[in-house]
Chain A
Amino acid sequence: MKTREEKKADALLCVIEGEVDINTSVQLRKVFDDLIKRNEKKVLVEFSGVEYIDSSGLATLIEMFQRLKKIGGKLRFSGMSQKVKNAFEITKLHKLFEIFDSQEAALRDF
């Protein structure tokens, strides 16, 4: 799994590529820790490069959602493939998270 960040106006775009699973979610949690430390309050996670997510990956996203909410921040997702979105739909997490088709639509919503 690889991540990169890009500033988009007052939001922070975090692009994830590869697989988000029990082994790589440790690395993702560190990236999120850093964003919280830097007081980033509008975080958009781009998923178009994510091929796969397991329950540990989902838990890492829930944790980030909770941490951002606590500091008055917002978490948005964009670009999910249907295979990845399926894991959110099965677990009904698509009702918890704000998921958008494109980065533009997600950024407009902040």
Chain B
Amino acid sequence: MFSNVPQAVLQKMEDLNFSKEIASDLSLVPQLLSDTLKEIKKFHLGDKALHDIKLSLQEALVNAIKHGSRLNRVLPVRLDVEARKGSLVMTVTDQGDGFDAARLMDPTQPGNLQRLSGRGIFLIRNLMDGVEFFDGGRKIQMVKAFHKGAKGEDERRKKG
């Protein structure tokens, strides 16, 4: 079933489980991303999957710091990464006021195409295989699956 990742690697992946916390400071994001990807890279998931993970984590962390914590350095932002049955589950939690994810605009609508914000969560939803919000929008859980049929570039291209 998990065709593009060797079985031995998948078994090792089950050991992947870590949490990191940073202050709400955008300049701390690159280091957190770099440390996190270093752990994930051990599993040889391929360039495309790593790129999708990096971009989704970046967007989720920036949203948490900018819109959740409103750049208040005192408020921590937490990242949890865990491998579960051939999937990578990444959760970003902030201490802000939350938001209603159902009310986000569609940035691809002609009237929104030139708007300067509102693409972060849209990108995440397209790059990940599953996205869920909890605790009134303070927690975003992103799932990247590593098996046949996982959302990929070709699949999205077909959808146009």
Complex: A64 Cα to B15 Cα, angstroms: 45
**A102 CB-CB contact with B under 8 Å:** no
Task: Find A54's partner among B59, B114, B115 (CB 8 Å cutoff).
Answer: B59
Q: Is the interface of B mostly helix, strand, loop or mixed?
A: helix
For B16, the chain A residues whose CB sits under 8 A away are: none
Q: Which residues, 62 to 76 on A, are CB-close (under 8 Å) to B?
A: 62-63, 65-66
**B36 CB-CB contact with A under 8 Å:** no
Complex: A66 Cα to B113 Cα, angstroms: 12
Question: In the complex, what's the smallest C-beta–C-beta distance from B92 to chain A, in angstroms?
Answer: 15
Task: Across the interface, name the chain B residue whose C-beta is closest to A96.
Answer: B113
Contacts A22-B62, A55-B59 hold; do A90 and B26 have CB atoms under 8 A apart?
Answer: no
A86 & B59 in contact (Cβ 8 Å cutoff): no
Chain B 18-45: CB-based contact to A (< 8 A → 1; otherwise 0): 0000000011011000000000000000
Complex: A55 Cα to B59 Cα, angstroms: 7
Question: In the complex, what's the smallest C-beta–C-beta distance from B70 to chain A, in angstroms?
Answer: 15
**A89 CB-CB contact with B under 8 Å:** yes
Contacts A55-B120, A87-B123 hold; do A92 and B29 have CB atoms under 8 A apart?
Answer: no
For the A-B complex, the count of residue pairs with Cβ-Cβ distances under 8 Å equals 62
Task: Find A95's partner among B51, B113, B127 (CB 8 Å cutoff).
Answer: B113
Question: In the complex, what's the smallest C-beta–C-beta distance from A13 to chain B, in angstroms?
Answer: 24
For B116, the chain A residues whose CB sits under 8 A away are: 59, 62-63
**A93 CB-CB contact with B under 8 Å:** yes
Interface residues of B (CB under 8 A from A): 26-27, 29-30, 47-48, 51, 54-55, 58-59, 62, 107-108, 113-117, 119-120, 122-123, 126-127, 153, 156-157
Other than the given A58-B119, A65-B114, 16 more pairs (CB < 8 A) read A22-B62, A52-B51, A54-B55, A55-B119, A55-B123, A56-B62, A59-B116, A83-B47, A87-B55, A87-B123, A89-B156, A90-B123, A92-B108, A95-B113, A96-B113, A96-B114
Interface residues of A (CB under 8 A from B): 21-23, 52, 54-56, 58-59, 62-63, 65-66, 82-83, 86-87, 89-93, 95-96
What would be 20 A-B contacts, judged by CB atoms less than 8 Å apart? A54-B123, A55-B59, A58-B119, A59-B116, A59-B119, A62-B114, A62-B115, A62-B116, A66-B114, A82-B153, A83-B48, A87-B55, A90-B123, A90-B156, A91-B108, A91-B122, A91-B123, A92-B107, A92-B108, A95-B113
